[in-house]
Amino acid sequence: MTMPKRGSRPITVDGVVYRWRVPKWSRGVDGGWKQLSFTVQRADEPGGVLVVTLPCARPDNSHGERTIVVRPVLVSACIRRALGQGWAAHARGAAFRLTVTEAELPGLLGEEPKYMIPFLWGMIHGVG
């Protein structure tokens, strides 16, 4: 499985170039909000795909569930964690799944998460 280049961003972690992207929106199984996730793959040797699931909703959710902005600091920390847990980024195969918990977010971000709540006309920032 090769991740589409369109809509992805490059990131270099420990000298290796990866591409990452937040997949397009889709509803949860029950028609409700869906958890925020992003995918990662090596840029030079597309092999295994990393799928990271975060403990909040996507920014385009219509249920007012809190969300965060996926920033490069979080992406690089998740790549390092997945590699440490056995993700073989160079090898093809099933996607490697990494689920981030609420308690792990501050350590991965290097600070407390800055949550936002979507509403009809934009976002409410700084919700804890």
pLDDT for the residue 85: 97
pLDDT the model gives residue 87 = 96
Give, in order, the Cα–Cα distances in Å from 54 to each of 16, 25, 75: 23, 15, 11
Write down the pLDDT at residue 57: 85
User: What are the 10-residue block averages of pLDDT along the chain, 128 residues in total?
Assistant: 80 96 67 80 90 88 80 97 96 94 96 82 57
Tokens of 120: 């009809």
- pLDDT of 47 reads 87
Burial of 109 (0-12, 13-18, 19+ CB in 10 A): middle
pTM of the model: 0.85
Beta carbons within 10 angstroms of residue 62's beta carbon: 13
Compute how many other C-beta atoms are within 10 angstroms of the C-beta atom of residue 44: 10
The DSSP code for 3 is -
pLDDT at 106: 96
Q: Taking CA 119 as the corner, what is the angle to CA 113 and CA 124, rounded to the nearest 5 degrees? A: 40
Confidence (pLDDT) at 63: 72
User: What are the domain boundaries of the chain?
Assistant: 9-127
